[in-house]
Amino acid sequence: MPTPLTSRDDGLIGKLTVAVAVWVVALAPASGRSWGASAARRSAVVEAVEKVHRSVVSISSEKKAASHSRWPFSPEENQRPRVSGMGSGVVIDGRGYVLTNHHVVDKVQGITVQLFDGTTLPARLLQFDPIMDLAILKLDPPRPLAAIELGSSSDLMVGETVLTIGNAFGYENTVSSGIISALHRDVTLSDDQVYRNLIQTDACINPGNSGGPLINIDGELIGINVAVRAGAQGIGFALPIDEVKRVATELLSTRRLAATWHGVIPAEQHRGLKRSVVIAEVEPGSPAEAAGLRPGDELVRVGALPIAHALDLERGLIDVRPGRPANVTVRRGGTETALSLDVRALSQSAAGAPEDQIWRLLGLRTIPVPTEYVATVSPKLRGGLYIQAVLPGSPAAEAAIQKGDILLGMKVGSRHWETIRPDNILYVLRQPETAQTHSALLYLVRQNEVQPLRISLGGSLSQPILSR
């Protein structure tokens, strides 16, 4: 049966269903689709679907049925039947990178992806983020795939037309239309899984649609379908694309996939209909600084790949290796300039990734979360750092920090700092006041309340704390 979700929207308690959670013994057979229409019948909806449909995939997987046995080698465990699951995904890079929900591929054995033309390919789980419920799959396609065009969720309008395409109940490439019913919905699945800031739509989202696209009438991806309210009609939810892009950029980062470092911190800018990516920061001592990249530069291309989103920077550098510089074209003062960027192996970096340093120094694995995750505490907060893991025996463990806490800020002496990026923690640890006090007060969100916890930094400060 579907997994229930509990929503606190408008003070009502309701049940929702993760759209992929229906597990079936067999999926419907795959079949092709013929997409054609006369000029008189060609509506904006038809054109949007034709623009997107080749970028949508159907996902099938297997896992063993549930068992109550506590002994992994018992006869009951070994005889458990295999059941099949279904979901959807979108191609975000023509080399075979597919974005879907984490719950579609969580704890499964064997993943198969069916392309629009009926071709089936094995896939492997490459990266995932269970908090945002996103995952990246990797295929090895025989030819380049059509990548979906990314839109923005910053300008969505209640009432505007949206479309879903996906593997609904195993009927691959099913199209549905509707409107945006509401924005900024919060849905609680469990203490460990809370969906924030969701798009609500009455376009049909069924079991099997999870991980598939919610698109606007221009054929742009504006959300990833994630859940539907059980027992209701026309109440489905999607993750907004701006938050999806932020997480996908991290999952596809060269640091994670290629163990290389470039040192560019990009930011997306929207000015009316014009979207661009500019360099917000260049990390000191980085390959980007050596290449002559500067804050304020507009990123135009990496190699032949146009840069429309921050994700494109990582896509363009995934296959670049140290010693083989990439051509990065920037617009500076209205003039395009080509620069040679030679990425560096993380092992050759003086500091290593901030996340790795924080794990080494404090025993914390963190991931940035946006304002919506902490808005219930204060609307003035700009975000925080979600605690993904705590190392046993570390300063964080001794301070009773728990997985699921959100770190809002740190106080040393009389000074306060917010923590919305891992770099912020390292900055605090490098301050003279921190070296003098050997401890810090951490402000954490736990069960929608702020809790101060003091962490000892004596041993941490004896280790090198470096910046990149």
Active-site residue set: 103, 133, 210
89 touches 59 (CB < 8 A): yes
Instruction: Say if residues 427 and 405 touch (Cβ distance below 8 Å).
Output: no
3-class SS string, 333-399: CCEEEEEEECCEEHHHCCCCCHHHHHHHHCCEEEEEECHHHCCCCCCCCCCEEEEEEECCCCHHHHC
**CA 168 to the chain's CA centroid:** 23
Question: Do the beta carbons of residue 208 and residue 215 sit within 8 Å?
Answer: no
**Phi first, then psi: what are they for 428, rounded to 5°?**
-65, -40
Strand intervals (E) in 150-219:
161-168, 171-188, 194-201, 213-216
Q: What is the distance between the alpha carbons of residues 128 and 125, in angstroms, rounded to a whole number?
A: 8
User: Which residues partner with 171 through β-bridges?
Assistant: 168
What's the CA angle centered on 57, arms 54 and 61, to 5 degrees? 165
CA distance 104 to 61: 8
Q: Which residues of 312-336 are buried (b: 16+ CB within 10 A; e: fewer)?
A: bbbbbbbebeeeeebebbbebeeee
DSSP E strands: which ranges in 202-334?
213-216, 221-228, 236-240, 260-261, 264-271, 274-282, 298-302, 305-306, 326-332
Determine the Cα–Cα distance for residues 405 and 394; give it in Å rounded to an integer: 16
DSSP of 115-145: -TTS-EEEEEEEEEETTTTEEEEE---SSPP
Q: Please state, in angstroms and rounded to a whole number, the distance separating the CA atoms of residues 431 and 307.
A: 36
CB < 8 Å & 24+ apart, contacts of 412-421: 412/437, 412/439, 412/440, 412/441, 413/437, 418/381, 418/382, 419/384, 419/385, 420/368, 420/382, 420/383, 420/384, 420/385, 421/354, 421/368, 421/385
